[in-house]
Amino acid sequence: MTEQLRLMAVHAHPDDESSKGAATMAKYVSEGVDVLVATCTGGERGSILNPKLQGDPYIEENIHEVRKKEMDEAREILGVKQEWLGFVDSGLPEGDPLPPLPDGCFALQDVEEAAEPLVRLIRKFKPQVITTYDENGGYPHPDHIMTHKITMVAFEAAGDPEKYPEAGEPWQPQKLYYNQGFNKPRTIALHEALLARGMDSPYGEWLERWKQFEQRERTLTTYVPCDEFFEIRDKALIAHATQIDPDGGWFRVPMDIQREVWPTEEYELAKSLVDTSLPEGDLFAGIRNN
Binding-site residues from annotation: 13, 16, 144
Q: Which H/E stretch holds residue 176?
A: strand 175-179
Bond from prior residue into 93 cis (ω within 30 degrees of 0)? no
Annotated binding site for Zn(2+): 13, 16, 144
Report whether 269 contacts 221 (CB < 8 A).
yes
The residues pairing with 10 across neighbouring beta strands, listed in sequence order, are 38
- Region of 28 (left: φ > 0; alpha: ψ -120 to 50; beta: rest) is alpha
Report whether 143 contacts 13 (CB < 8 A).
yes
Separation of CA 181 from chain center: 9
**Rounded Cα–Cα distance for residues 257 and 288 (Å):** 32
Report whether 129 contacts 80 (CB < 8 A).
no
SS3 182: coil
Helix, strand, coil fractions of the chain, as percent rounded to 5? 40, 15, 45
**Rounded Cα–Cα distance for residues 78 and 229 (Å):** 9
CB atoms inside a 10 Å sphere around CB 252: 14
Strand pairing category for 6-11 and 264-272: unpaired
Report whether 59 contacts 29 (CB < 8 A).
no
SS3 98: coil
